[in-house]
Copies of this chain bind each other. A is one copy, B any other.
Amino acid sequence: MSPLGISGLAHLFGILAFILLLVWLLHYREGIDYDSDKGFRVFNRKESQEVCSHALHLIAIVLGIVGLNAVFKFHGMENIPNVYSLHSWIGIVTFCLFGLQWLFGFVVFMLQGASVNTRAKVLPWHKVGGRALLFMAVCAAETGLMEKSCFLTNLKLLHGRESNLINFTGLAILLFGVFVNFSVGFS
């Protein structure tokens, strides 16, 4: 299989994960927007696509802020303590590092705040950092799905079909991460 084919698979699973997530949230959860796992979709950086890439990542940051805000609001309304679970820890650490990575990329590459030499030097770090952040975002998403399904199981609200849908969504997100990793590994 060519790197292009792998990249295709990565896109396929990304889209599949997104559709499954939408089906889950809209069909079963009546549009409840709780998990902050939106950052994972936009992650295929090339130098020639810099502007588009930075814009998409900025959208991811905005969506992340909206998501985090929704969580804190939801917790406040339901009297649930904040930032106690592994999902919340991973999610917040990932989001903060993602913000720093974006800011770094924006200043160094977009605004060209560093010399050509320095830019060439830090680019591999920026790329590897992006891959690490994808890795962390997938973990945040998986633990989020796990937490939500546990929470619904507690309340006796989770049944076979919805549980399977959540699991398929989780697998699709995982395979998305894996195939992005695969395709980056060959590029």
A interface residues, how many (CB within 8 angstroms): 37
Interface of A: prevailing SS: helix
Nearest Cβ on chain B to A97's Cβ, whole angstroms: 10
Give 1 or 0 for each of A111-154: 1 = CB within 8 Å of chain B CB. Answer: 00000000000001001100110011011001101110111001
In chain A, positions 143-187 with a C-beta closer than 8 Å to chain B are 143, 145-147, 149-151, 154, 163, 166-167, 170-171, 174, 177-178, 181-182, 185-186
Among A127, A135, A163, A177, find the residue whose CB has the most chain B CB atoms closer than 10 A.
A135
* Beta-carbon contact of B86 and A170 below 8 Å: yes
Nearest Cβ on chain B to A4's Cβ, whole angstroms: 15
In chain A, positions 99-118 with a C-beta closer than 8 Å to chain B are none
Kindly report how many copies of this chain are found in the complex they form together: 2
* Beta-carbon contact of B178 and A135 below 8 Å: yes
Q: Tell me, yes or no, whether A56 is within 8 Å of chain B by CB.
A: no
Q: Tell me, yes or no, whether A23 is within 8 Å of chain B by CB.
A: no
Among A85, A138, A139, find the residue whose CB has the most chain B CB atoms closer than 10 A.
A139
Q: Which residues of B contact A150 (CB under 8 A)?
A: 85, 146-147, 150-151, 154
A4 and B141 alpha carbons, distance in the complex (Å): 30
Given contacts A90-B171, A142-B142, 17 further A-B pairs with CB under 8 A are A84-B163, A85-B146, A85-B150, A85-B163, A86-B142, A86-B167, A89-B167, A90-B174, A124-B185, A127-B185, A128-B182, A135-B181, A136-B178, A138-B139, A139-B177, A143-B146, A147-B150
The residues of A with any CB-CB pair to B shorter than 8 Å are: 84-87, 89-90, 93, 124, 127-128, 131-132, 135-136, 138-139, 142-143, 145-147, 149-151, 154, 163, 166-167, 170-171, 174, 177-178, 181-182, 185-186
